[in-house]
Structure 1
Amino acid sequence: MSLKELAENASKGHRTAQEMVADGLREGILRGVLKAGQPLRQMEIAEQFGVSSIPVREALRQLEGEGLMVFYPRRGAVVSELSRDEVLEICEMREVLELLALRKAFPNLTEGDLQRAEEVLERADAQTDEELLGMWGEVNWEFHSALYRPANRPQLLGVIRNLHNRFDRYLRIHFSALDYRVKGQQEHWEILERCKRGDEGRALEELRRHILTVKEMLLEYLDGEAEEDDAP
């Protein structure tokens, strides 16, 4: 897929020029079309998306805030590298904040909340691997947020949502390169089952294990990639 094709896909639907560019570039980065370390040239992006340079700059700043790109002096905008330290930090924050969210939400969980979470998992189970790859991050968030939203902590949920957005790139690697679909869904179903039974302690334990498993598998993958890069 080329930058032009990303632009054509992003142009579908009604949105601002900034949103169109940001969505197109984000999808390119998350899908691996735009590689780590690849320069993002503003003039080329503006030409392919058919917009002026102003929404391109705004979109690049937005993606910088999401951790998907960085600005370097003289080099300009570059797709950010996958970072072991970022995986560690995000997972450490997720472990603390998501367990807090579920703990606060647990007394307020209704049959409707649990049904919504179950419908997300059923929808994911019905998708092919290829279909699910493109929506794995969003499906993952829909499931988790269905369980956290009853906490009635909008600021907390917003921070967790931002962490999930930053982690989406890693989740797609996790899903495709590490063949995590079956295990990830099993862990989701186990968390939901504990919530249905009203077993708060085990639900929190399963959630912690789920986050730690993701972290360990990703770190092992990134360490292996680093060893290959260092090999003579």
Structure 2
Amino acid sequence: MPPSRPAQKSLQHRTISSAVAEELRRRIVNGEFGSGFQLRQDALAAEFGVSRIPVREALMQLEAEGLVKIHPHRGAIVSELSTEEIDELFDLRSLLEPRLLEASAPRLTEADYERLNGILQEYSSELRAMHISRWGELNTEFHMVLYQHARQPRSLAVVANLLQESDRHTRLQLSLTQGVERAAAEHAEILELCTQGKIGAACALLRKHIEGAGESLRSYLEKHQTIGAKK
């Protein structure tokens, strides 16, 4: 039985929206569209010769990746991509989070490990489904559950804020640098080391995990912004 006409139209829209998203992503990352630039649906639809529907879908995809922010009255605005901000956020995380894990890991319970394994399973499921908007949320949840028993409320509050601030950077790093599978593998290894009581090794891997994420995103942006500047 041939597919229905609405299904064909839906597939066509997804294909067009993917192409629009790819071109907009290229322009944002290489600096053609700077931070704060307003992406008007009608103008983009006219430029690409498409309807507003695939443009809207493309912008929603870019918002999930952290490249744009959609405001109710202003529309889609290009997010700031600052390597200095990335350095600061990930440097602070690499300093604080291993300390919290070192204090919390010995107190993790069987119920905690069950929850952490559940997060990893859901992460794998969302990875296969390419639900980018969930990657950052699950990453934050995984880290916060690991640190919850540290008994350092001020540091925990700072890290919670840092994770929230770096959420879009995390989604960018995972979606643009093919870092998703590496992140999933490192999360699983950190959890296994904690389970085995190898807390020092788990903290060392956590620091490497955070630093690696920041470095890969910074390198990606620097490379593509340099390419964009030469064009």
TM-score for the superposition, normalised by structure 1: 0.67
Give secondary structure in 1 for the equivalent of 2:148.
helix
Q: CA deviation at 1:202?
A: 0.6
Give secondary structure in 2 for the equivalent of 1:226.
helix
Mapped partners of 2:105, 2:112: distance in 1: 11
Mapped partners of 1:175, 1:153: distance in 2: 29
**Could you say which residue in structure 2 is the equivalent of 1:104?**
103
**Could you say which residue in structure 2 is the equivalent of 1:31?**
64
Number of residue pairs the alignment of both structures matches: 176
**Could you say which residue in structure 2 is the equivalent of 1:216?**
215
Q: CA deviation at 1:136?
A: 0.7
Q: CA deviation at 1:28?
A: 8.1
**Could you say which residue in structure 1 is the equivalent of 2:84?**
85
Give the root-mean-square deviation of aligned CA atoms.
2.9
**Could you say which residue in structure 2 is the equivalent of 1:175?**
174
**Could you say which residue in structure 1 is the equivalent of 2:114?**
115
Stretches of structure 2 that go unaligned for 5 or more consecutive residues are 1-16, 18-38, 42-59
TM-score for the superposition, normalised by structure 2: 0.67
Q: How does 1:198-213 map to 2 (within 5 A)?
A: 198-213=197-212
**Could you say which residue in structure 2 is the equivalent of 1:56?**
none
Where does structure 1 differ by over 6 angstroms across 4 or more consecutive aligned residues?
A: 1-4
Mapped partners of 2:214, 2:197: distance in 1: 27
Q: Relative contact order: is structure 1 or structure 2 higher (C-alpha 8 Å, sep ≥ 6)?
A: 2
**Could you say which residue in structure 2 is the equivalent of 1:137?**
136
Using the TM superposition, name which of 174-183 and 86-95 deviates more. 174-183
Identity level (%): 32
Whether the 8 Å CA contact 1:102–1:147 is kept in 2: the answer is yes
Mapped partners of 1:227, 1:33: distance in 2: 20
**Could you say which residue in structure 2 is the equivalent of 1:126?**
125
1:79-108 C-alpha deviation (Å, 9 max, x unpaired): 542010011101110011101111111221
1:32-89 C-alpha deviation (Å, 9 max, x unpaired): 68748x9x6x8x34xx8xxxxxxxxxxxxxxxxxxxxxxxxxxxxx654201001110
Summarize the Cα distance change of 1:106–1:170 in structure 2 as closer, same or farther, 3 Å threshold: same
Q: CA deviation at 1:127?
A: 2.5
Q: CA deviation at 1:128?
A: 4.3
Give secondary structure in 2 for the equivalent of 1:134.
helix
Task: Answer with 1 or 2: which has the greater Rg.
Answer: 2
Q: CA deviation at 1:29?
A: 7.1
Mapped partners of 1:139, 1:33: distance in 2: 15
Code of the residue aligned with 1:31 in structure 2: it is A
Q: CA deviation at 1:126?
A: 2.1
Give secondary structure in 1 for the equivalent of 2:145.
helix
